[in-house]
Structure 1
Amino acid sequence: MVTVSLPTPVQPEFDTTIHRRKTRPVPVGTVTIGGGHPVVVQSMINEDTLDVDGSVAGIRRLHEIGCEIVRVTVPSMAHAKALADIKQKLESTYQRVPLVADVHHNGMKIALEVAKHVDKVRINPGLYVFEKPDAQREGYSDQEFADIGDKIRETLEPLVVSLRDQGKSMRIGVNHGSLSERMLFTYGDTPEGMVQSALEFIKICESLDFRNLVVSMKASRVPVMLAAYRLMVKRMDELGMDYPLHLGVTEAGDGEYGRIKSTAGIATLLADGIGDTIRVSLTEAPEKEIPVCYSILQALGLRKTMVEYVACPSCGRTLFNLEDVLHEVREATKHLTGLDIAVMGCIVNGPGEMADADYGYVGKQAGYIALYRGREEIKRVPEADGVQELINLIKADGRWVDP
């Protein structure tokens, strides 16, 4: 009897596409969050809202570099009224920009005023109806819990009705560090407490037939943030809710670690299909946040807003100064969008690693550069002419635009 060895079945390829959670579309001025629309980039000005000219300039700076929704803070009625002037001046001197306003601490009157002037109001459930901490308290009875729930509804209802009737939106923005005392006693300082806090507000909104809602579950520690968002998605799925999510690691800090921390939280969830709008919260000028947002989205293939550079880390086989050349190529082409450009130091891994690139710049022999279009080698040129010849090749293909 002859035994025939059959070849091992080839496993299907892994799906390299991120499949985003299906959410309802929520309008924020001229932008839509969720509903299959591209992930939206947000930030927040740090100017005092009473400074109308400064606020207009800050909003404009952010919008001009790609921030699609801008948030402002309104700690008082005077700040809320100043938003009318900010909005008018923006539209008369620049253009309409989707605006969100933060409202905290028993802010119903402020919220009602600000709802006239912005496209979305952000409230924090832990602060909207502020409960004065009681050092002697040991817990809440069912009746006490329900009574505060009734007070929240009474305070929230006028804002919900105003936003609903104007076709505007609300973000229910839960923060791990500002859960209400009632939630802390009932659920502890946990993701469950964060989720229950959000659900309480969502259910009030739904009872008033208002569903233009975006939800956030921010924390300053990445593991807590991840757990809270994942639990929120689980609960919403169980309840048949499809609200879009605003992602962020709050108070991430500054510098390299602030960027890494934000990316660890935001990108992890986006890779799982969770998230419809993002903000990277850095202790730096707000303009510094926008490139990080776009880099996260680009790296995950969710948005393509700049050139994607593929470059090897360099080794003993490298035939030119890879770091310098990559810098030269980037400076010459960084204004282009929608292209993949590979800069590879040698022939060993070059063609294979850059197979998906539109153009390749490869060191094949000392003093010469091989230029590729896709997998095809087009020509070899002296190293000194490499960057200009790459530009010429892109121009010849009709894919060049002047800076």
Structure 2
Amino acid sequence: MHFQPVIAQLVADAVEKIRINPGNFADGRKDFEEKVYETEDDYIQEREYLFDAMLPLVEKCKSLNRAMRIGTNHGSLSSRVLSFYGDTPRGMVESAIEFADICRSQDYHNFVFSMKASNPLVMVQSYRLLAAEQYRLGWDYPLHLGVTEAGEGEDGRMKSAVGIGTLLADGLGDTIRVSLTEDPEFEYEPCNRLAEIADSRLAKNEDAKKRQEAVKTYVDTRDITSYKRRHGDLPAAKEGDAVDVSGFLHKDGAVIAEVSPEMLSAENSQYLYQQLGCKTAVGMPFKDIATVDSIFMREVPSSDDTAARTALRRLIEVSMGVVVPAEVLEKDPVPNAVALMELEDALEKNGELPEGAIRLAVTVHGDESDETLAKIKDLNPAMIFLKVSPDLSQLHASRRVFEILKKEGITTGIVHHYQTDTDDSNELAL
């Protein structure tokens, strides 16, 4: 119920559960004077107003055994919270906690929390902060997960998966809703699928438990109360480089597309440039902000396929990385390609590159020893492909690898290499 505490009490007579938004339930109209709070005590003094507005509803819900959702929304924080905490996840959490304090003061515990935002990164940080705060306080109230106004189509499903899926993988969340700007019946399928994926990966699933236990022991040092991206270095230039290798990855997240030799043929190359997001001029490709950073090829065109080799060379010349398994390059060299090796093989060969290759990339599977992963620093690869073994938990094995790399000061860019059995776009979006 928004803005009208009195109406909320009337609604509580008729329904089993109501939702209030702390941002506009009592002070969302921003009627009181805008001010800057010098101290936390000054901020807390305003709570008396909230208590008086909230108390009648709490008493009614308790007497009628009604449930309540304290649902904070990132886009509608009160002016009071904005004045003290700013437009932050911390402000969302504190706003919900003080309303929960009012409920608890009346021995009313039939409520759940939600921390919704249209930005899934803000949403994830808010829920993690709330979970940490509940742990500190000794609370264990349920969490309802959702991304507000996620959108439609693939975008809406991907945003929901990033937000809801991340938290479910952490073991957080009791109920979920996927909010799409589509007819309501289309929300059920992705919502149900996210729940199924989460259930299949939690320890209560015997297969998932085995995969988790198969991951080598590691210490998790992540600060879950803050959201900070890992810093990954771009490939560094070396004297004598024929191409700009720094463009093989992107500082804000790289995109790598798989390409087959047939796609480089004379009749297909222009279409391929378009599919890779390249601008073209007189048939020549150029990189743009939306262009794929690198391509991955399991096979390469034969050396006598002039048209395909020319198309490949043009992509490399505009700083697009071409990543190819080292054993393929040993048979058919590609000038200035990136040779991809298993970490163990790269260490055994001391990082020696096939003929013509400009840089090394290594594949790790998460089952390597700490000592083996630490040796990546000696190889100084351009990028690391993280392809977790199917016998391991994807989440826990990945976090272990990141922890070891952080400990060893290895800041090489990492590419998540994930293979799936489906080509369904909706399934892939989740």
TM category (shorter chain) comes to 0.3 to 0.5
What TM-score do the two structures reach when normalised by structure 1? 0.48
